């Protein structure tokens, strides 16, 4: 028997992996596989090594998630601090107040990471998208739209209508869904338009503004 094979067997039985044996003995992995792949004791070692790798990987993932969690907590805290400062500077800006009041009444306050407002009134949609662009400095390329239409409405006409009214290019309308209305005769001419931005950071700021706004409005001084 080759001396390096004898040494390889000894090291393998001590729990060394193929990669470690390649580094130590400079034996090709294909040769090691030829020697050990059919040995039951080597298969057991391979299984133990695989379990260990999973255990280490899981531990690293947990640590990474904790680190990410701490980083996210810090980022969201920063979002709240920014929101408070911006509210102080913008609380007399009519577009800022209009945008917040619209979102307060019509916006999605539940879904994580989605700053979404849906409405049938083009004026509401227009003010909201202007608020996003001019007050929140959200690039148009980061906004998305989708519409809900009834079966008797032409999708293309509705998409063109809401693209014009919102100022959002057609390419950013990512969904058009046909729904059955609850009322057979009462129809919305161009369906329902939703405009949204996907950002947990921005959602944190929006919710903080909504929390602080009533306090500012109720101040008597």
CATH number of domain containing 100 = 3.30.1330
Report helix, strand and coil shares of the chain as percent, to nearest 5.
Answer: 65, 10, 25
Residue 48 lies in a domain: no
Residue 147 lies in a domain: yes
Residue 208 lies in a domain: yes
> In this predicted structure, what is the pLDDT of residue 104?
95
Residue 36 lies in a domain: no
Q: Could you tell me the pLDDT band of residue 220, with boundaries at 50, 70 and 90?
A: low
Percent of the chain clearing pLDDT 70 (strictly above): 86
Higher pLDDT, 37 or 80: 80
* Residue 92, pLDDT above cutoff 60: yes
* Residue 121, pLDDT above cutoff 80: yes
Per the structure, the complete domain to which residue 106 belongs is given by 92-217
> In this predicted structure, what is the pLDDT of residue 93?
92
Q: Are 213 and 100 in contact (CB under 8 A)?
A: yes
Q: Could you tell me the pLDDT band of residue 131, with boundaries at 50, 70 and 90?
A: very high
DSSP tag of 171? G
* Residue 102, pLDDT above cutoff 70: yes
Q: Provide long-range contacts, Cβ within 8 A and 24+ apart, for 30-39.
A: 32/8, 35/5, 35/8, 35/9, 36/12
Number of domains the chain contains: 1
Residue 191 lies in a domain: yes
Residue 11 lies in a domain: no
Q: Could you tell me the pLDDT band of residue 18, with boundaries at 50, 70 and 90?
A: confident
> In this predicted structure, what is the pLDDT of residue 54?
60
pTM for this predicted structure: 0.65
């Amino acid at each position: 028997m080759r001396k390096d094979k004898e040494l390889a067997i000894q090291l393998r039985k001590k729990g060394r992996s193929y990669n470690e044996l390649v580094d130590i003995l400079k034996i090709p992995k294909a040769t090691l596989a030829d020697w050990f792949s059919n040995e039951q004791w080597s298969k057991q070692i391979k299984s133990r090594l695989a379990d260990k790798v999973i255990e280490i990987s899981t531990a690293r993932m947990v640590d990474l998630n904790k680190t990410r969690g701490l980083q996210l907590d810090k980022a969201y805290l920063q979002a709240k601090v920014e929101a408070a400062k911006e509210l102080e500077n913008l609380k007399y800006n009519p577009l800022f107040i209009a945008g917040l009041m619209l979102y307060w009444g019509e916006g999605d306050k539940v879904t994580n990471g989605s700053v979404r407002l849906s409405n049938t009134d083009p004026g509401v949609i227009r003010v909201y998208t202007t608020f996003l662009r001019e007050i929140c400095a959200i690039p148009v390329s980061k906004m998305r739209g989708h519409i809900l239409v009834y079966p008797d409405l032409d999708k293309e006409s509705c998409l063109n209508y809401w693209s014009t009214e919102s100022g959002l290019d057609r390419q950013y309308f990512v969904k058009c869904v046909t729904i059955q209305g609850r009322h057979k005769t009462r129809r919305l001419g161009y369906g329902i338009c939703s405009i949204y931005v996907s950002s947990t950071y921005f959602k944190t700021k929006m919710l903080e503004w909504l929390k602080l706004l009533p306090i500012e409005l109720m101040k008597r001084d």
